[in-house]
């Protein structure tokens, strides 16, 4: 009996991989709006990082892998004295930015600002190494351009590919952070198309996380550092590619062993039609409420009702939240919420806190705060209903609304108005309203960490677009050091 040998020729790289590499190598055209939004995104991300430094659970994860390690030309971590290797530096910066779930978010999911950890870490490392060799460093203009492309890659992949669906169960957010960070880190390190393809294909071949740490009673603190792990892995793949490590052309499409067959039920991942600057131009900020993106409009609606519920919480018979299908599936939970990570992704918890206290802060999710018996009592009285119009509005790419409505019913028969909010405060539809609030949030967070003189230096640098773009990366990072 004879068998036909397998033809072992090296195929071309999958289209999705080559599209990413071509886009990164091509770069972005000068787009004033995109660069303006990149500056606001950087400002907001750093502010979130400074605020997270007040969380002991976050701070314990920062610093060198082993105490006392010294890294020449190391990466500075904003708000700290650390100088780390670029892989751990990317982890630490992203961990700080993402910890409180208060950073920017994309309209179809994910936090593209997660990639800023990789970009700042690699740009600082490359720039300090260049200087030591007598060469010119990168400028912050280069870092902003890398941000624009990383946002675009992650956002477009999340728009076209739903790995978070229960039928798949993967944490798509972290996978696409890893891919985007690998691509842009490789470019910042000096890599060309071949190196980017090798790094990105390895990012897809890498191990991928199930989503359990983001969901209900299985949610946990990994939710706050999973993106940091992903972006640091992206940097690691970039460094490997720059040493000549091979890539895998059919990482997605290989029969039996590729991503499609192993992890996606044999279905192809849908490649975006094109990459430009759309994502960063339409990014959504979390301006006032540190809460999951589907809960933002519910929080705003409930806070508008606080005046009617203040002093009457015990008289409430029912709270009705009307929402869209995805919010009902992803952030509506009953029963115990064991930790911070479960609470800030629970629609009923967030609405209850808003109705009771008239405010929502990161402290609203801590164990001591959650022990208030009124919160769970009000959750038990809360009904979540899906409105098909809200679902259509969310799924329609022309509108991309994220509507929630809240109404309160009292035992005496009285009823509050039904407060409906279509777009959260930080949505592109409300740019003029919220950009001043992004600046206020940033100044408030800078003041948490820095003395007045350094605070003014940082605010002045981020507030001047031309000066920021012309600043060498090492000088920018030095301004943020404690």
Give pLDDT tens digits for 309-351: 999 999 999 999 999 999 999 999 999 999 999 999 999 999 9
Residue 324 pLDDT: 98
Q: Residue with structure tokens 């000068």?
A: 30
CA distances from 204 to 11, 201, 263 (A): 17, 5, 11
Sign of CA dihedral 455, 460, 465, 468: negative
Do 382 and 352 meet the contact criterion of CB atoms below 8 Å apart?
Answer: yes
pLDDT tens by residue, 1-19: 445 555 556 789 999 999 9
Specify the length of the chain in residues: 482
Share of the chain above pLDDT 70, in %: 98
Strand order in the sheet with 382-386: 382-386, 316-323, 404-410, 419-421
Quickly tell me which residue has 């035992």 as its tokens. Answer: 411
Q: State which fold the 293-424 domain adopts.
A: 60s Ribosomal Protein L30; Chain: A; (3.30.1330)
Write the pLDDT tens digit of every residue in 433-443: 999 999 999 99
Please, what is the end-to-end C-alpha distance for the chain in angstroms?
Answer: 73
What's the rounded Cα separation, in Å, for the pair 150 and 474?
21
How far apart are the C-alpha atoms of 19 and 142, rounded to whole Å? 21
Are the C-beta atoms of residues 108 and 158 closer than 8 Å to each other? yes
**What's residue 446's pLDDT?**
98
Token duo for residue 375: 């919160």
Q: What is the β-pairing status of strands 404-410 and 316-323? A: antiparallel
Q: pLDDT tens digits for 76-90?
A: 999 999 999 999 999
Residues whose CB is less than 8 angstroms from the CB of residue 286 and which lie 6 or more positions away in sequence, other chains included: 101, 102, 103, 104, 105, 293, 296, 424, 426
pTM equals 0.93
Token pair of 450, please? 């820095």
pLDDT at 288: 87
Query: What is the pairing mode between strands 75-76 and 382-386?
Result: unpaired
Burial of 263 per CB tally in 10 Å (0-12, 13-18, 19+): middle
For the domain made up of 15-281, the CATH class stated in words is: mainly alpha
Please determine, for residue 29, whether its predicted confidence score (pLDDT) is greater than 90.
Answer: no
Q: For residue 50, count CB atoms less than 10 angstroms from its CB and return exposed for 0-12, middle for 13-18, buried for 19 or more.
A: buried
Each residue's pLDDT tens digit, 253-298? 999 999 999 999 999 999 999 999 999 999 999 998 889 999 999 9
**Amino acid 6: pLDDT:** 52
Side-chain-facing half-sphere of 255: CA atoms under 13 Å: 2
Is there a contact between 68 and 83 (Cβ–Cβ < 8 Å)? no
Domain residue ranges in the chain: 15-281, 293-424
How far is the C-alpha of 77 from the C-alpha of 49, rounded, in Å? 10
């Amino acid at each position: 009996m004879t068998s036909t040998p397998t033809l072992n020729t090296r195929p071309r790289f999958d289209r999705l991989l080559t599209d990413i590499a071509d886009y990164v190598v091509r770069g972005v055209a000068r787009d004033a709006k995109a660069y303006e939004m990149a500056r606001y995104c950087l400002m907001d991300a750093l502010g979130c990082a400074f605020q997270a430094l007040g969380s002991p659970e976050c701070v314990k994860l920062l610093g060198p892998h082993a105490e006392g390690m010294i890294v020449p030309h190391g990466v500075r971590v904003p708000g700290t004295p650390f100088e780390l290797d670029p892989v751990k530096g990317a982890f630490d910066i992203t961990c700080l930015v993402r910890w409180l779930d208060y950073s920017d978010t994309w309209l179809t999911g994910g936090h593209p600002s997660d990639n800023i950890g990789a970009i700042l870490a690699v740009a600082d490392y490359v720039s300090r190494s260049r200087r030591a060799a007598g060469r010119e460093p990168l400028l912050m203009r280069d870092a902003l351009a890398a941000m624009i492309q990383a946002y675009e890659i992650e956002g477009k992949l999340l728009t076209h590919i739903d790995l978070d669906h229960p039928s798949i169960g993967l944490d798509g957010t972290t996978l696409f952070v890893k891919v985007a960070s690998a691509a842009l880190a490789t470019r910042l390190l000096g890599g060309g198309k071949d190196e980017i393809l090798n790094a990105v294909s390895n990012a897809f071949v890498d191990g991928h996380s199930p989503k359990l740490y983001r969901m209900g009673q299985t949610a946990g603190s990994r939710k706050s550092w999973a993106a940091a792990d992903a972006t640091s892995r992206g940097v690691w793949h970039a460094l490997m590619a720059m040493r000549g490590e091979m890539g895998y052309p059919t990482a997605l499409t290989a029969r039996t062993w590729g991503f499609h067959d192993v992890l996606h039920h044999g279905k192809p991942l849908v490649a975006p039609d094109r990459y430009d600057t759309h994502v960063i131009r339409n990014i959504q900020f979390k301006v006032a409420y540190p809460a999951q993106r589907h809960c933002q409009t519910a929080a705003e609606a409930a806070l508008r009702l606080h005046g009617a519920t203040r002093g009457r919480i015990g008289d409430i018979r029912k709270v009705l939240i009307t929402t869209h299908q995805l919010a009902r599936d992803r952030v509506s939970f009953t029963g115990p919420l064991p930790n911070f990570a479960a609470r800030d992704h629970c629609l009923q918890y967030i609405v209850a806190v808003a109705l009771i206290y008239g405010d929502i802060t990161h402290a609203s999710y801590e164990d001591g705060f959650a022990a208030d018996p009124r919160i769970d009592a009000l959750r038990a009285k809360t009904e979540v209903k899906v409105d098909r119009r809200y679902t259509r509005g969310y799924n329609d790419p022309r509108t991309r609304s994220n509507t929630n409505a809240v109404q309160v019913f009292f035992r005496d028969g009285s009823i509050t108005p039904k407060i409906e909010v279509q777009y959260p405060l930080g949505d592109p539809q409300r740019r003029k309203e919220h950009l001043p609030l992004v600046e206020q949030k940033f100044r408030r967070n800078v003041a948490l960490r820095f003395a007045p003189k350094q605070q003014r230096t940082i605010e002045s640098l981020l507030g001047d677009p031309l000066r920021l773009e012309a600043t060498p990366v090492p000088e920018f990072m030095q301004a943020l050091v404690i």
